Structure 1
Amino acid sequence: MRGKLGLVLSVWLLLWGTCAGRFVVQKNSLKVTTPNSMRGTYECAIGNFGVPQYGGTLVGTVLYPQANQKACKSFDEFDVSFKSKPGGLPVFVLADRGDCYFTLKAWNAQNGGAAAILVSDDRVEPLITMDTPEEERADADYIEKITIPSALISKNLGDSIKKALSGGNMVNINLDWTEALPHPDERVEYEFWTNSNDECGPKCDSQIDFVKNFKGAAQILEQKGYTQFTPHYITWYCPEAFLLSKQCKSQCINYGRYCAPDPEQDFSRGYDGKEVVVQNLRQACFFKVANESGKPWLWWDYVTDFAIRCPMKEKKYTKECADQVIKSLGVDLKKIDECIGNPEADVDNPVLKAEQEAQIGKGARGDVTILPTLVINNGQYRGKLDRIAVLKAICSGFQETTEPAICLSQEMETNECLENSGGCWQDKAANISACRDTFRGRVCECPIVQGVKFTGDGYTHCEASGALRCEINNGGCWKETRNGKTFSACIDDHTKGCKCPPGFRGDGVGVDSCEDVDECKEKVKCQCPECKCKDTWGGYECSCSGGLLYMQEHDMCISKNTRTEFSWGFFWTIVLGLAAAGLAGYAVYKYRIRRYMDSEIRAIMAQYMPLDNQGEVPSHTHASRGNV
């Protein structure tokens, strides 16, 4: 067994040497703010583990431990804690390179309470990427639990920090990831280099878990046009001298053109590498066909379902099982089979050939040589393959203010607002704060609460404005209730500011800002000779001596009886006047109507009946008609 494994590894080392290319170290900015002698911007290399704060910044102070300076042991053994005290800056542990894995240094620093770890190189050389250990060890599960960011700094910078600390200076550093990934436009393009193999240990498990957990976010971003996603698969070719070897025949298709390692690194059992290549090709073809039908996001469903329904350990890693998954998703199986072609033919496969060409780095992106690898806006992602960490990295690829809503959701918050409102304005009484957590870090913006907009700088001042502003903390104005009476200095309209109501003086802003006016003492009311004044909170009460009645609008006292008699006399005068006018009108009406009717009747009757005075009829009739 050991001899076979050594043969396999030697062949793949040769393949690696043949295909080895340019590897780009992903860097971010490190700014030293104090002491002045070191102030400036430096480069550091982002570790390939932990959670870099893509799109954000982290400020802290550096500590170089007196013992365990390489951080290869737990700091508990040395009774050392790096937890920051309330109000203090986060602690960045400075550790020396050497003696143990980078990941173990970060794990020990994290357990000691550090917010980040800086590893000082032990030689003068270009920065490298701190990677996870290649060996699979039973106790290496801690790697997936590392959450603090890590960075490798040059030996010169590390020596300068140590010198400043030994001289009693505080070294404050700002780790800045805002420009770690490009963000050229309003769409993020990202690639995920993965593998269908599920029997390669922790790395395969982490890939499968990531796809399952990230599927929902990826599909939302893709369906709404925020991102353009492309999956990729690494393959190698078999050197011509080994084409007829057992290793290449079991691990390659299309006559050694496309190869993958044996899943168990044992040719005598399990699946062969060539079966992995075919399944990788099937996944790539599934994406191609789904993308051509306008539904590229179905790839996430297929890969998730295939991992669940067709695992190697259950001997279901077959074409038959894969076809069932494809049919369940409604994708054209015939087109996928045509895309796969004949793995036994001595011809190029267009899809896999394009994949090999895509492995070669272009521009800022280096060659893809490890799995899994994420490339976001042509920049290689460094850090933990975790849903939130990757989503933050993708969100940092958008230009600021163009991020989709998912980037501003609660699960993306940095939690900087939990302590002292992040240094932003706050109203503790009303539980209102101008601090808002985002994946880029906290921002101080006056909030909108229950439809009420607050305006101000967000740092020292925010004030409710607009309609209904008095509904929120009374608009920041004075308000008080006594003996069932409530007065407020807030005017519930579109105005700003506060104004004490009548009966009070002051600016109306805040508690105890409106003072009751003593109207009686200041002689502004109840000034008539018979008046008696009593001051009340927010007003006054006036009364009159001698049984008189106080008229507030005239500030005078009058007799109750006089007022009553005058009122009733005036009432009856009006009533009688109206009655007389009515009778007069009726009398005139009756007289005119009666006279008119009599004259008409007489004229009509005179035409048909002889009257005693016939000779007078014409002149009477003429006179009557002339009066009509």
Structure 2
Amino acid sequence: MRGMEKVAVMARLLVALVLVVVAPSMGAFVVEENSLSVITPESLQGTYQSAIGNFGVPQYGGTLSGFVVLPKVNFKACDVFPADHFRAKPGARPNFALVDRGDCYFATKVWHAQEAGAAAVLVADNKQEELITMDSPEEDPAASQYLNNISIPSALITKDFADKLKKVLNGNELVTMKLDWRESLPHPDERVEYEFWTNSNDECGPKCDAQVEFVRNFKGVAQILERGGYTQFTPHYITWYCPQAFIESKQCKAQCINNGRYCAPDPEQDFSVGYDGKQVVTENLRQLCVFKVTNETSPRQPWKWWDFVTDFQIRCPMEEKKYGPACAEEVIKSLSIDVEAVRKCMGNPDADEENPILRNEQDAQVGQGTRGDVTLLPTLIVNQRQYRGKLDKTAVLKAICSGYQESTDPPVCLSDSVETNECLDNNGGCWKSGTLTACQDTFRGRICQCPLVSGVQLEGDGYTHCEANGSGRCKVLNGGCWEDTKGDIRYSACQDNQHSGCQCPEGFRGNGTAGADGCVDINECKEKTKCQCSECKCTNTWGSYNCECSGGLLYMQEHDTCINRISSQSKLGLTVSLIVLAGISVLGLGGYVVYKYRLRSYMDSEIRAIMAQYMPLDSQNDSVQTHSQDNDV
């Protein structure tokens, strides 16, 4: 009887603790949706609301098309279906099972449909209301046998939409539908911010086991993304505070630190055995401080949080009675993390005061903007949206990869195990020339975008053409212009001094664009445009021509004529000689005149200076006499 009383007291306390945190913020719980489009029949074409299930594997970043199938019996899917009841025939589109809500867990319905071959499950609400999130059962022991094996997506749809579907299906019309998760998570930039709300407790049943397995499996991928600067990861831990009326109770003292401010449930749900909730809160705080220290100490290594948590789970399990500070600090030392810095960060759990780290955690639990409140463990939040689905390495990686702006995906998101490279099939329908292509594989599909090559951005629609413009464009595919080489001679219709366009060089005609006919050699001899004098003999060459003169005459290309080689040379030499001699004579005569003029000027100035010293000039005498006369008066 005492055992039952203890459980009753603990239950009341847990309810009180949960209400303290959850009740004020229930309105902020956000239902995550995906796009559901009806393709056929025409009477139902359009997009409808659907809420992503909190289990299974939503295809984040992708789409799935199929036929909707309504079962003839077992409408609520609470019983097992006959084998292959929903399985599509080879070569046909997959089938989506449409089942009714009620009488059993959502996860049970999806599991039964999956076992019968369904590719996805639509659950029809049984009353007209706002959509809710279909969650996995917490209290069903049987659920642990199949919950982690659900690998198909599921969605809840409204009653009025479901009624329309049923009416059409019962009329033997084919319903084709597409589920689209490409916009389920925002993808604003080149980096994904994500949070993982977890717990250091490893004795809370199937969900704790799933967290431990996920951290171990996802650690490598998480560290690659973090080291490469592709993500900004933040771990979080849920805490509750004890109501004032219960602070002095045995239960609160066992489950809380800092005088009831931060609490966690007892791992075994039994206060008399094993570990207490206060030890869990303390370990949660230690793990938060490991992240804080490694994130703020130079050099920054926030990815070491994954190493610490993984090693702590392996080396310090509750089952082996190693869970606690001694083992935890051994792990910290082995990873070369400053133990004293972690202790200082943690503060004093026994002090009757606020702990800033845990206070921030409680504040962070409240949803803001598009992000809902965090009330369940584990919870993953990607770009401020709560992830829905199975906590699985590949499924979570797909969700994170769907958060990148297209064409900025990290390499790990483009691996064959995560997505299909659509550029491998007919180049994705994009432009291609040689090894250059406009097809860029992204996690959510492919985009046709002209590439940047050697610092030159190609321009065009990406589907039918791309061409280089601006400085340096001739270095890339010759600017999309014609070019050809014969022997040692190369001609090109691309000019670096032109921003765009192509122009055939002299000796060719055409539009200048790439291709054999872009520029064609002009036969100057045949077209009688060159070498047409009576003494000339014309021979066409590639891009030019040769002109020879008979009788020892010399061909003057500028005038397209033949002249006498000797006379022309003599006349030319005489003319040049006369011009040179005349120039020299002019320069010499000019120099002599200047010299004589400057010499005479210099001599005159010297003579005048000497005479001025010894013989007064007439102008001076006149000045003196005038001055004397002025004084006499």
- TM score, norm. by length of structure 2: 0.67
Q: 1:389 to 1:507 in 2, by over 3 A?
A: farther
CA distance in 2, matches of 1:110, 1:457: 46
- Relative to structure 1, the CA distance from residue 50 to residue 543 in structure 2 (aligned partners, 3 Å threshold; closer, same or farther) is farther
**SS of residue matched to 1:203:** helix
CA distance in 1, matches of 2:318, 2:217: 18
Counterpart Cα distance in 2 of 1:278 and 1:349: 11
Structure 1 CA distance for aligned equivalents of residues 355 and 95 of structure 2: 50
> What is the CA-CA distance between 1:527 and the residue it aligns to?
1.2
Corresponding position of 1:329 = 337
Q: Deviations over 1:36-82 (max 9, x none)?
A: 5334442211222455566x5x4554312588996977987876358
**Which shows bigger deviation, 485-494 or 131-140?**
131-140
Asked if structure 2 preserves the Cα contact closer than 8 Å seen for 1:215 and 1:301, the reply is: no
Distance 1:446 1:29 in 2: 31
CA offset digits 1:384-423 (Å, max 9, x no partner): 445676577668779x79xxx9x64233456564255786
Match of 2:569 in 1: 567
Name the structure 2 match of 1:496: 500
User: Which of residues 317, 323, 335 in structure 2 aligns to 1:317?
Assistant: 323
- Supply the distance in 2 between the matched residues of 1:281 and 1:374 (Cα, whole angstroms): 19
* Counterpart pick for 2:133 among 129, 143, 154: 129
In the alignment, does 2:381 pair up with 1:382?
Answer: no
Encode CA deviations 1:314-357: one digit per residue, 9 max, x unaligned.
54322212233445411435535643227xx9x99887687667
Deviation of residue 475 (structure 1)?
1.9
Q: Counterpart of 2:468 in 1: which secondary structure?
A: strand
Structure 1 position 154, deviation (Å): 2.6
1:507 and 2:511 correspond:
yes
Structure 1 CA distance, aligned partners of 2:315 and 2:324?
A: 10
Quote the Cα distance in structure 1 between the aligned partners of 2:56 and 2:474. Answer: 47
Shift of 1:443: 4.0
CA distance in 1, matches of 2:502, 2:324: 75
Query: Which residue of 2 is the match for residue 283 of structure 1?
Result: 287
Distance in 2 (alpha carbons) for counterparts of 1:549 and 1:362 = 91
User: Could you say which residue in structure 1 is the equivalent of 2:50?
Assistant: 44
Instruction: Tell me which of 348, 351, 372 is aligned to 1:339.
Output: 348
- Shift of residue 372 of structure 1? 0.7
Alpha-carbon distance in 2 for matches of 1:149, 1:454: 41
Query: SS of the residue aligned with 1:436?
Result: strand
Tell me, in whole angstroms, the C-alpha distance in 2 between the residues paired with 1:571 and 1:40. Answer: 92
- Of 267, 286, 305, 1:262 maps to 267
2:488 matches 1:478:
no
- Secondary structure of the 2:496 match is coil
1:451–1:350 CA distance, 2 compared to 1 (3 A): closer
Q: What TM-score results when the alignment is normalised by the length of structure 1? A: 0.67
CA distance 1:105–1:504, change in 2 (3 Å): farther
Q: Please tell me whether the aligned partners of residues 237 and 258 of structure 1 are also in contact (alpha carbons under 8 angstroms).
A: yes
* Structure 1 residue matching 2:280: 3-state secondary structure: helix
Does 1:554 find its partner at 2:562?
A: no
Q: CA deviation at 1:161?
A: 4.2
Query: 2:458, 2:115 → 1: CA distance?
Result: 40
The 8 Å contact of residues 53 and 156 in structure 2, kept in 1 or not, is answered as yes
Which secondary structure does the structure 1 equivalent of 2:348 belong to? helix
Residue 28 in structure 1 maps to residue 30 in structure 2: no
Shift, 1:110, TM fit:
11
Q: 1:80 is matched with which residue?
A: 88
> Which residue in the other structure is 1:453 paired with?
457
Q: Partner amino acid for 1:48?
A: N
1:96 matched to 2:104: no
What amino acid does structure 1 have at the position aligned with 2:317? P
Separation of aligned partners in 2, 1:478 and 1:107? 64
The residue identity in structure 2 corresponding to 1:262 is P
1:467 aligns with 2:471: yes
Q: What do residues 272-329 of structure 1 show as CA deviations (whole Å, max 9, x unaligned)?
A: 6554344224334656777898979475564344335433455432221223344541
Deviating more after overlay: 381-390 vs 464-473: 381-390
Structure 1 contact 196–276 (Cα < 8 Å) conserved = yes
Q: State the Cα distance separating 1:113 from its structure 2 match.
A: 10
CA distance 1:332–1:40, change in 2 (3 Å): same
Distance 1:361 1:215, change over 3 A: same
2:223 maps to a residue whose letter is: G
> How far off its partner does 1:270 sit?
6.3
Report the residue type matching 1:232 in the other structure: Y
User: Given the alignment, which residue of 373, 395, 404 partners 2:379?
Assistant: 373
Give the corresponding residue for 1:599: none
Secondary structure at the aligned position of 1:543 is classed as strand
Amino acid at match of 1:123: N
1:374 counterpart letter in structure 2: L
- Give, as a single letter, the amino acid of the residue that structure 2 aligns with 1:80: A
Q: Which runs of 5+ in 1 are unaligned?
A: 85-89, 583-628
Whether 2:524 is the aligned partner of 1:519: answer: yes
Cα distance in 2 for partners of 1:453, 1:47 equals: 44
Q: Deviations over 1:497-538 (max 9, x none)?
A: 222222322212232332332322221122112333333443
Amino acid at match of 2:449: E
Matched letter for residue 124 of structure 1: K
Change in CA separation of 1:352 and 1:482 when aligned onto 2, cut-off 3 Å: closer
Q: Distance in 2 between matches of 1:370 and 1:270?
A: 24
SS in 2 for 1:124: coil
Could you say what secondary structure the match of 2:33 adopts? strand
Quick one: distance in 2 between partners of 1:431 and 1:40?
41
> Structure 2 counterpart of 1:178, which letter?
E
Mark the CA change 1:526 to 1:450 in structure 2 (over 3 Å): closer, same or farther: same
Q: What is the identity percentage for the equivalent residue pairs of Structure 1 and Structure 2? A: 41
Shift in CA distance, 174/384, structure 1 to aligned 2, threshold 3 Å:
closer
SS at match of 2:212: helix
SS at match of 1:63: strand
CA displacement at 1:454 relative to structure 2? 0.7
Equivalent of 1:156 in 150, 153, 160: 160
Distance 1:564-1:74 versus aligned 2 partners, 3 A rule = farther
SS at match of 1:453: strand
Query: Partner of 1:611 in structure 2?
Result: none
CA contact (8 A) 2:226 2:233 kept: no
What aligned pairs does 1:378-417 form with structure 2 within 5 A after superposition?
379-385=385-391, 408-413=409-414, 417=422
- Conserved? CA contact 1:26–1:381, under 8 Å: no
**2:548 aligned partner, one-letter code:** S
Whether contact under 8 Å (1:124, 1:155) holds in the other structure is: yes
- Tell me the secondary structure at the aligned position of residue 37 of structure 2: strand
SS at match of 1:27: coil
1:284-303 matches, cutoff 5 A = 284=288, 297=302, 302-303=308-309
CA contact (8 A) 1:421 1:433 kept: no
Following the alignment from structure 2 to structure 1, what is the Cα–Cα distance between the partners of residues 569 and 361?
A: 105
Report the count of equivalent residues: 553
Aligned-partner SS, 1:511:
coil
Q: Which ranges in structure 2 are unaligned for 5 or more consecutive residues?
A: 585-633
Offset at 1:159? 4.4
Q: 1:496 to 1:419 in 2, by over 3 A?
A: same
- C-alpha contact 1:236 1:260 (8 A) present in aligned 2: no
- Distance in 1 between residues matched to 2:296 and 2:478, nearest whole Å: 58
- The Cα of 1:459 is off from its aligned counterpart by 4.2
The equivalent residue for 1:192 is: 196
Q: d(CA) in 1 for partners of 2:374 and 2:13?
A: 14
Check conservation: 2:14, 2:265, Cα contact below 8 A.
no
